[in-house]
Structure formats: C-alpha cells, structure tokens
Amino acid sequence: MACSRFEYVKLFESHDRLLPGCWAVIRLDGRCFTSFAKKHSFRKPNDERALNLSNAAAKQVLKTFDNHLVLAYGQSDEYSFVLKRESNLFSRRESKILSTVVSMFTSVYVLMWSKFMDVELQEPPTFDGRIVLYPLTCHLRDYLSWRQADTHVNNLFNTAFWALVDQDGKSLKEAEKLLKGTNSKEKNELLFSQFGINYNNEPQMFRKGSLIIRRPGNEGYEFPKRRRVDQPSNEDHKGTTYLVDMQKDLAPSDDDYHVLHTDIIKDDFWKQHHYLLWPPDDSPPRIRKT
C-alpha cells in the first residue's frame, strides 16, 4: 500500500525516541499481583519459587538483548533493566523498547511457570512498565540503591508482619496496627525477642533482591582470582586493560549470566565490577547519528 492515498495516516504517528547518551531504566511491575499471588497460594512473606521464576524471565530478556542491556535488578514482582547509554536498540524508540521487553518478560514468565511453581496457572499474569532516563552514572547508581533500600524496608516489614499473623495469631489489621510507626530497630527487636528470628540470617535474596549480570569473557567457570578486562574504546578514550577481582559469589552456571544477591549500595561491588557502567561520567559516549 506504499504511496497510496491512505498513506497519510502515518502522519498521526508520534516520535518517541529516548534522549541519546543517557542510561535508560526499563522498570516492570506486576499488575494486581496481590490478588494474583493470593489466587496462586504464594508463600508469605516470600515465595522463593516465584522469585526464581522472575529471575529466569529476566535472565532471558538479558540474553535476548545481550548487546544492549547492562544488568537487571529485581525484587518481589518488579524488575528493572538497564539499557546502555550508547545503545541504539530499535533506534531508541521508547514505545517499541518498552512493549518488547514487557511482552517478552511476561511470555517467559508464563512459559516457565510449571518449571518453578507447583500450582496450576489459573489466570494470565500481567505487568506494566515505564522507562526513566538518567543522564549520569551517579543517578543510575542512586536509582539502583533506592530499589535495594526499598527491598530491605519492605522485606523487614513483611517478615515481622507475617510472623505476627502466622506465629502469634494476630489478624491482618492487628499486625498492621502493631507495626505502624515502628522503625527498623524496633522491628528487628520484635522479631528476635518474640520469635527468635535474627533478620540478618534471612536469605540474601529476600533482603537484598536479585542482581543479574553477565560475567566478562566467554571462558568456562575456572575463574582466576584476578583477570584482565579490556574496556571498549572510542575516539576520545583509548581501550584500557584493567585487573578485576572476580566476585566470590559468582556461582557455576551453564551460561554467562549470574544471579547475585549482594550489596549494590556501597562502592565495593562497583569497584570490583566497574566495567559494567562504562564509560564513566567524565567520558560520556559519543552520540551516533541515526
């Protein structure tokens, strides 16, 4: 139908390209997931099966867009994917990037449901999404720190809440009223004194969320204590070789992506994995013309 009299309808299309040179975070959230989790008998306060299912779906998204996505961070029913600053995926069209990532994550979530969950899927899970731009790496770091801090706050509350309900026989309203206005120290004290729960001994995945990264190199799992990593080069910055200390918690895997449950608020992780957020702020990527 090219060059037909109907082609004018293309004029109504909007152009929604993401700003060049910025980090882009594609954030997915489960829609009406409280009722979805209840209908499928998710365990409280955390369901490790459902979390591993989300991690598997996120890992597949990363594999599919291997050259464009840097990492993914997830907790509960949400996942954030970081698009490289220099990526020109779908000509940086926001609607196409967002719709593709959301639909792929959802499709894989449904496809792999039976592998992780022992209950029949009774209704289709749905996820909404948004894209937020961050011009500087420090902004992106703060975003990821915010999500991990949120993971801790929510999980501490939920752990105390469901301990009151399941072990102390409190109603949902009574448990909520008891915890209202309490700080982290008070919640920790309640868990330890009343239920013998040391919150610091709870699984890392529950307390810190899940970070998925691609390890450098394509070799097997025989990691040296330190290895050389070549950084990409551009006209302004020559390629540089760095010695990188490999993360201890990189578990053996039959692929190049690893799910970590580690602190990403402090600088230690980013110093060990500084190749992830490259180039640094003082050397912004050159903008490619499209």
Q: Is 263 annotated as a binding residue?
A: no
Q: Is 76 annotated as a binding residue?
A: yes
As given in the structure block, the two tokens for residue 6 are 């109907």
pLDDT for the residue 15 = 86
Q: How far is CA 231 from CA 160, 225, 273, in A?
A: 45, 19, 12
Beta bridge mates, 167: none
Q: Indicate whether 149 pLDDT > 80.
A: yes
3 versus 217: the higher-pLDDT residue is: 3
Q: Is 29 annotated as a binding residue?
A: yes
pLDDT for the residue 238 = 46
What's the mean pLDDT in 200-215? 95
pLDDT for the residue 126 = 97
**pLDDT confidence bin for 57, thresholds 50/70/90:** very high
Q: Is the dihedral angle over the CA atoms 192, 178, 265, 60 positive or is it negative?
A: positive
As given in the structure block, the two tokens for residue 109 are 């979530």
Q: In degrees, to the nearest 5, what angle opens at C-alpha 64 toward C-alphas 75 and 40?
A: 40
| Number of neighbouring beta carbons within 10 Å of residue 232 | 12
**pLDDT confidence bin for 289, thresholds 50/70/90:** low
pLDDT for the residue 217 = 56
Strand bridging mode 78-83 / 69-75: antiparallel
- Percentage of the residues of the chain whose pLDDT score is greater than 90: 74
Domain 15-197+205-211: give its CATH code: 3.30.70.3000
Q: Indicate whether 253 pLDDT > 80.
A: no
Q: Is 118 annotated as a binding residue?
A: no
The SS3 assignment for 231 reads coil
As given in the structure block, the two tokens for residue 208 are 């810190």
226 versus 25: the higher-pLDDT residue is: 25
Q: pLDDT tens-digit profile of 7-42?
A: 889 889 888 999 999 999 999 999 999 999 999 999
Query: Lowest mean pLDDT: which of 81-90, 100-109, 178-187, 236-245?
Result: 236-245
Q: Indicate whether 216 pLDDT > 70.
A: no
Query: Lowest mean pLDDT: which of 47-61, 135-149, 237-251, 272-286?
Result: 237-251
Q: Indicate whether 240 pLDDT > 60.
A: no
- Percentage of the residues of the chain whose pLDDT score is greater than 70: 82
Secondary element (H or E) of residue 259: strand 257-260
**pLDDT confidence bin for 231, thresholds 50/70/90:** very low
Distance CA 245, CA 229 (A): 10
Q: pLDDT tens-digit profile of 60-118?
A: 999 999 889 999 999 999 999 999 999 999 999 999 999 999 999 999 999 999 999 99
Q: pLDDT tens-digit profile of 156-169?
A: 999 999 999 999 99
